[in-house]
Amino acid sequence: MANVTMSTEEVYDELKNEGVELSTKYSYSHPIKTNNKAKQISLGRIWFNSILPEDFRFINESINKNQLSSIIKEISRKYEPRDTSKYVRNIQKHANKLATIDPRTFQSELFIPSQEWKEKKEIFLKKAPSLNYEDFKKERKKLIDLLYNEMEEQNIPFLESLNSKSSGKMSKDTWEQLQVSKGMTPDIENNIKVINKGISDGYDIQEYYDAAAEARMGFFVKGTAVQNPGYLARKVTMSNANIKLDPVDCKSKHYLEIYSDSNNADQFIGRYRLVNNKLELIEEPIINETIKVRSPMYCKSKKGICSVCYGKLAESVNTNNIGILAAGAVNMIAVNVFMKMRHQSEKIKYMNVDFIDIINQSTVKLEELNFILDVQKTEIFAKDDIVIEIDKNEYDSSTLTEYHDKYVLPGLLTIRYGNEEPSYYSLPFNFDINLNKPSQLITKGRFLIFKYEKGEKLISQKQYIKGVNPAIITKLLDGTTKYVKDPRILLELISEELSGMDSVHLELVVSNMCRNIDDNKIPARLNNYKNFEIIGCKKLPFIDSWLSAMAFEDIQKSILTGLVSEEESTFNDLEKLLIKDNYKLEE
């Protein structure tokens, strides 16, 4: 080959060519290092000389760790400290980059993109840093589609394996990250970074660090996914185990309004809806229509949930224990989505934040929040003095994270306004938010008290990760949205997190969590949610059944409740049976 003097970037370009490896020989010359004399050396040694200072001696030998340390010491003796720092930094930067490059990628054996596609990729890489998130995703998608079109035109069999759902290590998503662009990556703080290049292009130090940060996020997701489902299922089961199906129609005149579309229409088959003031059994999917259905949310039965409000679902599974059935459904969906998230933690969806739009789509009224908050697209400010109080006992280290200027936590927050007779307002953000620290942040035992003054910023956020969040589900079912004024808000939030399951199960769970504030043993559905409170699934077993409480968590508390307080009148059939058997044993 002709004599060449290659820059570092030219070496990287050369590595993209078919059949070129670091061991490929080139005739290399340099005005200083070789005194313009040609030397036959490998591309790897050309690369190493290119990352050294221009006037440094020529290196034509294999370099190990000790030799590299000697070279760095030689550089430090030869140059001023500022220059030495720059040269060593350059060596480190390019060593990281080369370490992420597979010179062959998959091109030599499987597929070589056209020169036209490579040029379009170069254009993409140049303009990517100036693109916003949406435009970046669109441009990346165009490049991916062009790549697949070329593969289809060349009848590349590898494309079939990419599209298959086998457990092979190379997936379509991995191929795109390898050849086109790594794309957006979250870190453990939910900060979203963009890596424009593909893995085969080689990363610089910052890109390598951002990719590693995403891996740490993946480990967190996996750890959370493993821990939450079992505990969640246990809480929901113990909270709803006593709810039975009542065969007698309660004749409720209240209905739940739900929009039925192609995503959820099948869930309403077997339910009863109101049509021309008459009940009608839904037997076919109803698409793009708001329907009024009889629901466990408004059932007036005192013996459980009546068969009309519940629908035909119990018949298909042949059971009256619809509380346990609902808990099993929640568990199954939760475990499935958690495990799916665990195994596909790299496939994360990013959503642009629009607080105004999110609130408008919820059952929270924006005009009520506007009384105390200045809600903007990506920021929220206090219009007056307000307080957010956080009980640290309701969180763990994975759901409440402190940083120097903010806390990251699920956005199901309640705002207190006023002192003597305070009003409460709930934020309907079922994703992790960045809650800024106010000028007055007070710690009292386990409580964090955020006191925001007029004009202070509460939240600032441009994006969030869309997906099932175990922390959000757990907090919703634990009743941390205790000041929600409308049970439909809670149903809406839980439904969004556990989409895909029959709505009737979630309606049952939510209706059981809403209790009469004067007597929390009475479901609030019996008085149309007048003067109600939300009680979480963690606390419900202690209220409804001392035996459930003993089985669930706290033996001492259950004994005090069941024996010392003499609440035998509230025993369910199972409790009475056990007590009766115990008396017989004593006799």
565 with 424, same domain? no
490 with 354, same domain? yes
Domain boundary, last residue among 99, 129, 145: 99
- Tell me if 486 is assigned to some domain: yes
In 3-state terms, what secondary structure has residue 466?
strand
Give pLDDT tens digits for 254-276. 999 988 888 788 889 999 999 99
**In a 10 Å sphere around its CB, with 0-12 CB exposed, 13-18 middle and 19+ buried, how is residue 502 labelled?**
buried
Instruction: Pick the range with the lowest mean pLDDT from 106-115, 527-536, 537-546.
Output: 106-115
Which residues lie closer than 8 Å to 414 by C-beta, 6 or more apart? Answer: 388, 389, 424, 425, 426, 427, 481, 482, 483
Residue 114 is encoded by which pair of tokens?
A: 């056209």
Whether the pLDDT of residue 334 is over 80: the answer is no
504 with 370, same domain? yes
- Tell me if 236 is assigned to some domain: no
Give pLDDT tens digits for 274-287. 999 999 999 999 99
Whether the pLDDT of residue 131 is over 90: the answer is no
Whether the pLDDT of residue 547 is over 80: the answer is no
Whether the pLDDT of residue 156 is over 80: the answer is no
- Tell me if 378 is assigned to some domain: yes
Is there a contact between 518 and 500 (Cβ–Cβ < 8 Å)?
A: no
* pLDDT score of 399: 76
Angle at 169 between CA 167 and CA 172, to 5 degrees: 90
* pLDDT score of 188: 63
Of 577 and 359, the structure prediction assigns the larger pLDDT to: 359
Domain boundary, last residue among 180, 215, 250: 215
* pLDDT score of 292: 94
Whether the pLDDT of residue 208 is over 80: the answer is no
Angle at 496 between CA 495 and CA 498, to 5 degrees: 65
Whole-angstrom Cα distance, residue 373 to residue 366? 9
565 with 539, same domain? no
- Tell me if 1 is assigned to some domain: no
Is there a contact between 476 and 497 (Cβ–Cβ < 8 Å)?
A: yes
Whether the pLDDT of residue 57 is over 90: the answer is yes
Whole-angstrom Cα distance, residue 240 to residue 326? 8
45 with 158, same domain? no
450 with 514, same domain? yes
Please report which confidence band the pLDDT of residue 231 belongs to, taking 50, 70 and 90 as the band edges.
low
Residues in the chain: 587
* pLDDT score of 241: 81
Whether the pLDDT of residue 380 is over 90: the answer is yes
Q: What is the identity of the amino acid at 189?
A: E
Whether the pLDDT of residue 293 is over 60: the answer is yes
538 with 504, same domain? yes
Is there a contact between 43 and 26 (Cβ–Cβ < 8 Å)?
A: yes
Of 462 and 233, the structure prediction assigns the larger pLDDT to: 462
Q: Which residues pair with 466 in a beta bridge?
A: 349
167 with 89, same domain? no
Q: What is the mean pLDDT of residues 499-508?
A: 84
Could you say which DSSP state residue 260 is in? Answer: E
88 with 171, same domain? no
Enter the pTM of the model.
Answer: 0.53
* pLDDT score of 397: 67
Q: Which of 310, 368, 361 is nearest to 485 (CA)?
A: 368
Backbone angles phi, psi at 426, to 5 degrees: -105, 140
* pLDDT score of 502: 81
Domain boundary, last residue among 182, 215, 248: 215
In 3-state terms, what secondary structure has residue 375?
strand
Give pLDDT tens digits for 310-332. 998 878 777 788 888 888 787 77
Q: Which of 451, 472, 448, 430 is nearest to 393 (CA)?
A: 448
399 with 514, same domain? yes
Angle at 209 between CA 203 and CA 215, to 5 degrees: 105
- Tell me if 303 is assigned to some domain: no
Instruction: Pick the range with the lowest mean pLDDT from 131-145, 251-265, 435-449, 456-470.
Output: 456-470
Q: Measured in Å, how far apart are the chain's first and last C-alpha atoms?
A: 103
145 with 15, same domain? no
360 with 491, same domain? yes
Which segments of 167-299 are extended strands (E)? 183-186, 192-195, 245-246, 256-260, 272-275, 278-281, 289-293
Q: Which residues pair with 194 in a beta bridge?
A: 184
Of 222 and 488, the structure prediction assigns the larger pLDDT to: 488
Of 467 and 152, the structure prediction assigns the larger pLDDT to: 152
Which residues lie closer than 8 Å to 441 by C-beta, 6 or more apart? Answer: 448, 449, 450, 451
Structural element, H or E, at residue 224: helix 205-240
* pLDDT score of 567: 43
Please state, for a pLDDT cut of 90, what percent of the chain lies above it: 24
- Tell me if 498 is assigned to some domain: yes
What is the span of the domain harbouring residue 127? 115-215
Whether the pLDDT of residue 576 is over 50: the answer is no
Which residues lie closer than 8 Å to 560 by C-beta, 6 or more apart? Answer: none
- Tell me if 331 is assigned to some domain: no
Mean pLDDT score of the chain = 78
Give pLDDT tens digits for 63-91. 877 888 889 999 999 999 888 888 988 88
Tally of domains in the chain:
4
- Tell me if 163 is assigned to some domain: yes
* pLDDT score of 157: 61
